[in-house]
Amino acid sequence: MLDDPEAFIRENTALQPVPHAPEIRLYVADEITPIWKMTEDALGAMGISPPFWAFAWAGGQALARYVLDHPEMVAGQTVLDFAAGSGLVAIAAMKAGAARALACDVDPICRAAIAVNAEANGVVVESTIDDLLDRPPPKVDVILAGDICYEKTLSDRVLKWLQAARAAGVTVLIGDPGRTYFPKSGLEQLAQYEVRTTRELEDYEIKRTGVWTLPD
Ligand SMILES: C[S@@+](CC[C@H](N)C(=O)[O-])C[C@H]1O[C@@H](n2cnc3c(N)ncnc32)[C@H](O)[C@@H]1O
């Protein structure tokens, strides 16, 4: 594990506006940043998993845009950003007037990424690396989940957990660009965006990305 993950992030990424939510800036990877050129093996030798936190994923970008444009969804509310990565969605929620945002991600470096990104945007975001899927959903008003359906096991677990949260009265919003394990039914679409991402991660540079809610 890195001695100083916040310094590592600042030194190896660049603070840049998020394409679909440019009022937010994140420490991310691009062609000119050192982390772009590091192989998975080199990162692994430093104790770093693939750095999902170094990108603003299409699902998170769409969700951030939606929250910024619909502040009434989160204003004054307690929000959980599930699978937060960089913390983008939690930051958007705080900028939109949330009372409190907790960001969770099981990758320990995300805590540092969330901290440096929240600071860069002048907001406070709490974070945890506990796997919240192992327990009943927390007592929050809103759960925001950006880009969580890229892998079957995670997708199955998280969708069941989000349904339990919805049954307990929590508002659930999901941002998704049509990932393989995104469910084909049972969700209501609230918005659709054309989100710019990178060909290093995606098949297309522009990804059509939806924001969805779990209905009652
Ligand atoms: C594709 S990234 C999305 C990050 C961010 N939401 C965004 O849209 O930019 C998926 C994230 O899910 C996290 N993740 C995987 N399993 C998880 C779990 N059980 N609980 C919380 N986060 C998890 C990964 O570490 C990764 O950061």
Work out the average pLDDT over 135-163.
Answer: 97
- Please give the share of the chain, as a percent, with pLDDT higher than 90: 85
Nearest one of 104, 186, 173, 183 to 144, comparing CA atoms: 173
Work out the average pLDDT over 91-101.
Answer: 98
Q: Is the pLDDT of residue 32 over 80?
A: no
120 Cβ inside 6 Å of ligand 1 = no
> What's the pTM?
0.97
- What is the DSSP pairing of strand 126-128 with strand 100-104? parallel
131 Cβ inside 6 Å of ligand 1 = yes
- Please give the share of the chain, as a percent, with pLDDT higher than 70: 100
pLDDT digits (tens, 9 = 90+) for 33-64: 888 888 888 888 888 888 999 999 999 999 99
**What's the confidence (pLDDT) of residue 71?**
98
User: Mapping DSSP to helix (H, G, I), strand (E, B) and coil, where does residue 12 land?
Assistant: helix
**What's the confidence (pLDDT) of residue 183?**
95
pLDDT digits (tens, 9 = 90+) for 112-131: 999 999 999 999 999 999 99
Q: Is the pLDDT of residue 138 over 90?
A: yes
Say how many Å lie between the CA of residue 59 and the centre of ligand 1: 11
With a CB cutoff of 8 Å and minimum separation 6, the contacts of 160 are: none
